[in-house]
Amino acid sequence: MTVQIDKPILDPYDYDFHEDPYPYYKRLRDEAPLYRNEELGFWALSRHQDVVQGFRNSTALSNAFGVSLDPASRGPHASKTMSFLAMDDPDHLRLRTLVSKGFTPRRIRELEPRVTELTVGHLETMLERADSGTVDYVAEFAGKLPMDVISELMGVPQPDRDQVRAWADAVMHRDDGVTDVPPAAIEASLNLIVYYQEMVAQRRKKPTEDLTSALLGAEIDGDKLTDDEVLGFMFLMVIAGNETTTKLLANAAFWGHRNPDQLTPVYADLERVPLWVEETLRYDTSSQILARTVAVEFTIYDTTIPDGEIVLLLPGSAHRDERVFENPDDFVIGREIGSKLLSFGSGAHFCLGAHLARMEARVALTELFRRIRGYEVDEANAVRVHSSNVRGFAHLPITVETR
């Protein structure tokens, strides 16, 4: 009698996969390090060394059609909403260099006191509500702060921020089993683009001190960003910068709750918060799956993948690879991670906003722990986000014990 062994399966749209992708990843690493999904038309790389090489091989694996599997987000138009993330060199290098003139480490450093103010404001509201019982950590805090920071950076006026945040959330939502962008997300994208177009037009007439004005003024040897290029970068900030940081803050809270022994030293010494952030980025990264398009024939595991095919890189899997991390399925704050972290990519496309995300998470979690003695997550009522590439919570109800 022969025993039928199922092939490993990777379906980025499957709700069960969203609940816990890590057993799926383990099977891929062990049984199909180069995986093929005929039905959805992609290949996938799951081992750490292969994901690193995939990120760094931008000649064979192109970003030009975007980094999402969703058909509506893919194609030559991808750079309109994903800026230089959906470009190859030399276009990528030109745009990234120009954007870097406005989006400087100094600008991020100078933003920190304001990030602290915004954090404290949201925390005070959340903790007041928590006095009467359970409060939604995402709705009251993790979902609000990153978008407010980006709005602050861009110069979005305070009264508009709730609406801009609602559009940004709608852009990312995916329905169960639907392998494309739903109509509500397309409508939200258009609303955001129209809003930012008006903002760019205003700054052209009357520059202010914000990043939008800095981008419009950025120049290298007479080369400047067009309105569309500024718009594309603003959209990228909303999608990549907002969504992933929201998920990072909620994932940190969830896994901290699941591993209270790991948090005890953090309560005692808030200098350990950045270590908590790094382990969360490794253990359960917001950015799980990134697509590339084969530009020239790409050979790996004795298989040649023809050009035009989609290859998914799985940093979420790479971070649990036992070939690289000891006991990778244990959440250990303070473990040695360093350059093995792939949450912000690697190589030419390394995330320009990595320092902003780390600063926001450090400030947010430090200020939270200054005010609380402990917290509990109501796991039964926690709701995961359903997305083909990011991982985190739509709702995370918690109870807190204030200091």
Rounded CA gap, 346 and 131, in Å? 43
Q: Report pLDDT digits (tens) over 13-28.
A: 998 999 999 999 999 9
In 244-341, which residue ranges form alpha helices assigned H by DSSP?
A: 244-258, 260-268, 273-283, 315-318
Neighbouring residues of 230: CB distance < 8 A, sequence distance ≥ 6: 200, 212, 215, 216
Please state the rounded mean pLDDT for residues 31-46: 97
Binned at pLDDT 50, 70 and 90, residue 166 comes out as confident
If one counts every other C-beta atom within 10 angstroms of the C-beta of residue 105, the result is 11
Looking at the DSSP assignment, which residues form a beta bridge with residue 299? 304
What is the arithmetic mean of pLDDT over 76-102?
93
Domains of the chain: 15-402 (1.10.630.10)
- The string of pLDDT tens digits covering residues 267-299 is 999 999 999 999 999 999 999 999 999 999 999
Check residue 301 and give its pLDDT.
97
> Using an 8 Å Cβ cutoff, are 359 and 112 in contact?
yes
Q: Please tell me whether residue 186 adopts helix, strand or coil conformation.
A: helix
User: What was the pLDDT predicted at 381?
Assistant: 97
Q: What is the pLDDT of residues 108-143, one digit of tens each?
A: 999 999 999 999 999 999 999 998 899 999 999 999
pTM for the whole structure: 0.94
Q: Are 398 and 377 in contact (CB under 8 A)?
A: yes
347 — alpha (psi -120 to 50), left (phi > 0) or beta?
A: left
Amino acid at 196: Y
Residue 359 in contact with residue 115, Cβ under 8 Å? yes
Tell me how far apart the alpha carbons of residues 321 and 317 are, in angstroms, rounded to a whole number: 7
The residues facing 400 across adjacent strands are 375
Give the pLDDT confidence of 319-336 residue by residue, as tens digits.
Answer: 999 999 999 999 999 999
Q: Determine contact, residues 74/66, Cβ cutoff 8 Å.
A: yes
